[in-house]
Chains A and B, each alone.
Chain A
Amino acid sequence: MTIRTDGLTVALFATCINDVMFPGTPRAVVELLERLGCRVEFPMEQTCCGQMFTNTGYFDAAVPNVRNYVKAFSGYEYVVGPSGSCVGAVRHQHPMLADHAKDAGLAAEVDRVVARTYDLSEFLVDVLGITDVGAYFPHRVTYHPTCHSVRVAKVGDRPYQLLSKVKGIDLVALPDADQCCGFGGTFSVKNPDVSVAMAADKARHVMATGAEYLVTGDNACLMNIGGILHRQNSGVKPIHLAEILARTEGGER
């Protein structure tokens, strides 16, 4: 790898679900960004973006998350998270929650830090200006563009740009890719029957591609579709975009 950035310092926003359930994803982000010449820091104050509370109607419970986020990240020029949904929630909901808390000081801080928060794919393509990150992944892969990454964080086709430059990859199109997988946060347990009906359709489309891996930029959606794929012994493995981009030829993983 010859691409080097000029030593940008990046604060990693791991997200709570990745921190506990999918630590391999933020580790892959660390590995990838360090390989690209960034200095990665992990501010320990961070917890969660709060969208589980916000989207279930419990705004008061979400406000401490906004304060934590500001406390953890306000000192950084670049905050990078491997989740379109959590990054989208920070950008779209934190200003609204600061207004809800009637805290003008917090609102001003939120505006500053929100403008510096990026989804991993945005940071790579827009800030570092890289689509070929030097990854190697010799497998058949299909990509599901998660709803919040597309419609809230608005990452557009950046994940495709990154995936299409991965060496050895066989990227196959997913039918009805733009349809929601049925996760929807607490929707998955408040409306489990509808959620499962949607996830089962998504899993069916995934299996129809013959892919070995299903990739997304959001582990929550991946956990939902992956839950069906695992129950049905489909053999299709869920994987986060960061973990594909972190792999290199001759790399151990």
Chain B
Amino acid sequence: MTADAQRRTPAPPAGTYLGMPKFQKNAKPALANEQLRKNLRHATGTIRAKRVARVSEVPEWEELRRAGEAIKNRTLRHLDTYLVQLEESLVRAGATVHWARDAAEANRIVVGLVQAKGVDEVVKVKSMATQEIELNEALEEAGIAAWETDLAELIVQLGHDRPSHILVPAIHRNRSEVREIFLREMKRYGTAAPEDITDDPAELAGAARRHLREKFLRARVAVSGANFAIAETGTLVVVESEGNGRMCLTLPETLISVVGIEKVLPTTADLEVYLRLLPRSSTGERMNPYTSMWTGVTPGDGPQEVHVVLVDNGRTNALADPLGRPALRCIRCSACLNICPVYERVGGHAYGSVYPGPIGAVLNPQLRGISHEIDQSLPYASTLCGACFDVCPVRIPIPDMLVHLRKEVADHKKGTPRVEPTAMALAGWVLSDRRHFELAQRAAGLAARVLPHTTHLGPMPWPASPWTRARDLPMPPPESFRSWWRKNREEGR
């Protein structure tokens, strides 16, 4: 509590993402949390239905997806060229460009820029890149308060929580939980919520508006990300729904934008594809309410000091792998999270990253490597049902990439005395040749004859327990198909 008292902003939960156990373990408490599962089922179901309605209005949707895929592919192939062009355009427009190899370097740059302005707080536009590098905590350590101004990010921050979704980071909370958080926490960090506040969404939004207003008007520095960065002009683009982004991007004197290097697009014309794909895929809207675009510094209008921090943080690792590269096409729409049956039941926290769901399962092991338990488990956090690819606006082949990453993990584990490689080797021998297979079939048939009246097996000890704890297992019948075939078809011929 004393450490908490010294902080400027609400403390997030203890521990780090990379120290988290594997997905399977994290999933258990989430599955047991009835309220969480209800919240997730309701929220993902609602967004899914909206997306389908808005996408089905666009007859050329598949062509748009293919265009979105092609433009990103071309840009990634020539990323070096476009990044240099982006830097030149930004500098020409009066912005200062910084390059960061990793999270630590990016945080150091931003902290230094804020300290140079002599302020102890910043307002933030919702940004996945700053979540990824954990900028808020780096600022907090330097005595600088970073205030999240997106409604859902505010709920997460005030709730001493972590985001569980890319687009709606508080998707795991329902409105009565939000009311409790606002009532308890707002007064500790600024304008209090009214004591008689109800869980009516309009009242909750009103409380957030009043709480944030004083911060918008006071802050002299804002931090944002960017959805797109246009190489030809040096224009940055932020797509949002609440107008908090517009406030942050226009009111403060200094604007610092942290941008992943894969966000670059060659020309302004390319936006016509992505500004159609993104809102329909993410919020299920034809057009998002606020699209802000700015090009360096405009004298006498908006921030007069503009910084852009271009962050690698593992992206060139993904770029170097032809089979992993498609993950860099991601425009962070969250359609894959909303459609994913695994995400729907477990939520985002089990994925141990700010990038949960199917895209997180392919992105995190590439950005962070596969040396940690959590990143080794993520490629297996999918049934490979393929629903994510169907909804992806830039056609990222997530199921194929998961299989590719599973191979990387299996290769990494090779030679270790574990159950799985041994089981796979044994099954591999059985199925590599019909004679081995027929031998195994006779063993299965024998088992069936030992238990002639058993059609199903109920709960059994390990190694059958993962299957049989909740599901019965049918017994193999005494006669295999091929033995029937031999008797009934081959012998007569």
Contacts and interface: CB of A to CB of B under 8 A. Distances in A.
Given A56-B420, A148-B386, A23 B23 contact: no
Contacts of A186: 380
Given A14-B482, A23-B480, A190-B24, A58 B424 contact: yes
Chain B CB within 10 A, most for which of A62, A193, A200: A193
B403 interface: yes
A195 B484 CA distance: 33
A152 B383 CA distance: 13
Contact of A19 (B24, B386, B482): B482
A23 B486 CA distance: 13
Interface stretch (A133-141, A164-172, A223-231): A223-231
A173 interface: no
B24 A152 contact: no
Contact of A61 (B27, B381, B387, B428): B428
Given A46-B434, A55-B406, A30 B383 contact: no
A148 B479 CA distance: 28
Contacts of A197: 31, 345
B466 A53 contact: no
* Majority-rule SS of A interface residues: helix
A19 B470 contact: no
A76 to B, nearest CB: 16
Contact of A58 (B31, B341, B428): B428
A198 interface: yes
B231 to A, nearest CB: 34
B441 interface: yes
Interface string A216-250: 00000001101110110000000000000000000
A178 B48 CA distance: 13
A57 interface: yes
B355 to A, nearest CB: 19
Contacts of B386: 147-148, 151-152
Contacts of B482: 14, 19, 42, 44
Contacts of A196: 469-471
B476 A231 contact: no
B458 A56 contact: no
A226 B407 CA distance: 30
A48 interface: yes
Chain B CB within 10 A, most for which of A50, A53, A58: A58
Nearest to A219: B474
A53 B489 CA distance: 31
A47 interface: yes
A147 B387 contact: yes
A160 interface: no
A37 interface: no
A222 B420 CA distance: 24
Contacts of A192: 466-467, 469-470
Interface residues of B, number: 61
Interface in A22-40: 23-24, 26-27, 30, 40
A47 B437 contact: yes
Contacts of B471: 196, 199, 224, 227-228, 230-231
Nearest to B458: A231
A103 B180 CA distance: 63
A3 interface: no
B427 A55 contact: no
Nearest to A25: B481
Contacts of B383: 147, 180, 182-185, 187, 195, 198
A194 interface: yes
Interface residues of A, number: 67
Nearest to B437: A47
A54 B425 CA distance: 13
A40 to B, nearest CB: 8
A48 B470 contact: no
A191 B25 CA distance: 9
B411 A57 contact: yes
Interface in A63-119: 64-65, 68, 93
Contacts of A185: 383-384
Chain A CB within 10 A, most for which of B431, B432, B469, B481: B481
Given A46-B434, A64-B433, A230-B456, A184 B382 contact: yes
A189 B249 CA distance: 49
Contacts of A227: 467, 470-474
B342 interface: yes
Contact of B470 (A24, A189, A200): A200
Contact of A194 (B346, B406, B407, B481): B346
B444 interface: yes
Interface in B322-360: 341-342, 345-346
B134 interface: no
Nearest to A196: B470
B31 A42 contact: no
A131 interface: no
A161 interface: no
Given A57-B409, A191-B23, A223-B474, A64 B382 contact: no
Contacts of B345: 194, 197-198
Contact of B431 (A14, A16, A199, A231): A16
A46 B432 CA distance: 9
Given A57-B410, A194-B31, A198-B341, A188 B472 contact: no
7 closest residue pairs by CB, A with B: A184-B383, A227-B471, A57-B410, A61-B428, A57-B406, A151-B386, A180-B385
9 contacts: A23-B477, A61-B425, A61-B428, A64-B433, A68-B433, A147-B384, A151-B386, A178-B387, A187-B382
Interface of A: 14, 16, 18-21, 23-24, 26-27, 30, 40, 42, 44-48, 50, 52-62, 64-65, 68, 93, 147-148, 151-152, 178-180, 182-200, 223-224, 226-228, 230-231
Given A23-B479, A64-B431, A179-B341, 16 more contacts: A19-B480, A20-B476, A30-B489, A48-B431, A53-B427, A56-B410, A56-B424, A57-B403, A68-B433, A68-B434, A93-B403, A148-B384, A179-B387, A199-B470, A228-B471, A231-B472
